[in-house]
């Protein structure tokens, strides 16, 4: 989405700065180019929206209609029964209570994990950006390195550690894993945001008598809304959508919605209920969609806040 707006912006700027002198042909070429660009963009948009369209329509069809009709056709009789089933009665493995309990597991896992990793990232970033200490660069490099470690590498040691801490197979265990894994990213976000804030601000506050937490609370937190949004969206998307940690570290009562979705879709008993599968998938994806819609504007703004002045 960003690259799209940037491209169109640049194009229109080119059009504006084109000199008037003898450029009817040039102007026509620009218009052509613009239309060509729109055509391509619309094509891509359709391409990306196609699966969503199929999911949505399929989830509203009865099984009978799915079997007889075309994949791309609109539903003849709209039915919400698959949604109800997905939410409260579909079988994930042997448990037939729908997505609902797992959905709440995910909420109970994601909300604290997002909050904790954001708070820790903010404090870390504040220290790295404004309270340089000996070896800070090395620490920061190590934390950055943490962003690039693939999930699979940490699975076994993490399982061992959760076992040692007595958190194996519990929601707090999952929260712990996601917080640890998220700190690298959140620290990076906040550090890069705070590093653009002049050091003299901290110095002024120190002379005014404020200490470490006071300065953070009174001066840094109030200017952090854009980057908090970035951190929350990023972390929420990561944690809510995570499957690998969820499937590896959860127990019977603590599986997140992604794992449950997998189990519903892969349940082998009876006929394949495509409509229920689709409804489940949409339900599982809704919260991240919601977060984007609500805060997406700030997300883009926050990501570019450091690089673009004003």
204, 244, 286, 289: residue in contact with other proteins (rule CB under 8 A): 204
Q: Whats the size of the chain, residue-wise?
A: 310
Separation in Å, CA 14 to CA 5, 155, 162, 174, 308: 14, 51, 57, 51, 20
Sequence-distant (6+) residues with CB within 8 A of 14 are 30
Q: Does 138 bind other proteins (CB under 8 A)?
A: no
Q: Does 166 bind other proteins (CB under 8 A)?
A: no
Interface positions, 213-232, toward other proteins (CB under 8 A): 214, 218-219, 222-223
209, 268, 269, 270: residue in contact with other proteins (rule CB under 8 A): 209
Q: Does 201 bind other proteins (CB under 8 A)?
A: yes
- Residue 85, number of CB atoms within 10 A of its CB: 20
Q: Which is nearer to other proteins, 223 or 244 (CB)?
A: 223
Separation in Å, CA 283 to CA 30, 42, 49, 59, 129: 44, 27, 17, 11, 40
Q: Does 305 bind other proteins (CB under 8 A)?
A: no
Considering only 26-34, 41-49, 201-209, 262-270, which stretch makes contact with other proteins by CB under 8 A? 201-209
Task: Name the minimum Å distance from CB 310 to other proteins.
Answer: 11
What beta strand segments (E) does 118-255 contain? none
Q: Which is nearer to other proteins, 71 or 207 (CB)?
A: 207
Considering only 51-59, 187-195, 211-219, 241-249, which stretch makes contact with other proteins by CB under 8 A? 211-219
Q: Which is nearer to other proteins, 90 or 127 (CB)?
A: 127
The DSSP call for residue 250 is B
> What gap in Å lies between CA 191 and CA 121, rounded to an integer?
8
* Structure tokens given for 309: 């002045």
Phi and psi, residue 272, nearest 5°? -75, 115
Sequence-distant (6+) residues with CB within 8 A of 63 are 271, 273, 274, 275
Q: Does 132 bind other proteins (CB under 8 A)?
A: no
Task: Name the minimum Å distance from CB 296 to other proteins.
Answer: 24
15, 96, 107, 205: residue in contact with other proteins (rule CB under 8 A): 205
Q: Which is nearer to other proteins, 22 or 310 (CB)?
A: 310
> What gap in Å lies between CA 88 and CA 262, rounded to an integer?
16
Chain residues binding other proteins by CB under 8 A are 198, 200-201, 203-211, 214, 218-219, 222-223
């Amino acid at each position: 989405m960003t690259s799209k707006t940037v491209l169109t912006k640049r194009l229109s700027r080119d059009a504006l700065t084109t000199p008037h002198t003898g450029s009817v042909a040039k102007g026509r070429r620009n218009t052509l180019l613009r239309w060509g660009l729109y055509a391509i963009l619309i094509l891509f948009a359709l391409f990306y929206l196609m699966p969503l369209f199929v999911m949505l329509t399929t989830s509203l069809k009865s099984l009978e209609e799915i079997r007889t009709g075309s994949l791309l056709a609109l539903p003849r009789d709209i039915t919400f029964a698959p949604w109800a089933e997905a939410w409260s009665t579909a079988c994930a493995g042997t448990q037939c209570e729908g997505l609902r309990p797992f959905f709440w597991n995910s909420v109970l896992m994601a909300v604290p994990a997002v909050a904790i990793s954001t708070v820790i990232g903010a404090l870390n970033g504040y220290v790295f950006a404004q309270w340089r200490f000996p070896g800070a660069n090395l620490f920061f490099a190590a934390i950055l390195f943490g962003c690039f470690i693939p999930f699979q590498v940490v699975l076994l040691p993490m399982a061992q550690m959760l076992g040692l801490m007595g958190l194996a197979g519990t929601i707090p265990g999952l929260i712990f894993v996601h917080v640890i894994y998220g700190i690298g990213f959140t620290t990076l976000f906040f550090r890069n945001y705070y590093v653009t804030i002049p050091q003299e601000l901290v110095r002024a506050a120190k002379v005014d008598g404020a200490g470490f937490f006071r300065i953070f609370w009174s001066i840094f937190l109030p200017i952090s809304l854009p980057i908090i949004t970035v951190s929350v969206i990023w972390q929420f998307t990561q944690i809510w959508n995570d499957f690998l940690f969820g499937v590896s570290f959860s127990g019977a009562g603590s599986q997140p919605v992604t794992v449950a979705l997998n189990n519903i879709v892969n349940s082998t008993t009876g006929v394949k209920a495509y409509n229920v599968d689709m409804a489940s998938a949409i339900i599982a994806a809704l919260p991240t969609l919601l977060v984007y819609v609500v805060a997406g504007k700030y997300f883009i703004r926050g990501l570019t806040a450091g690089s673009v002045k004003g």
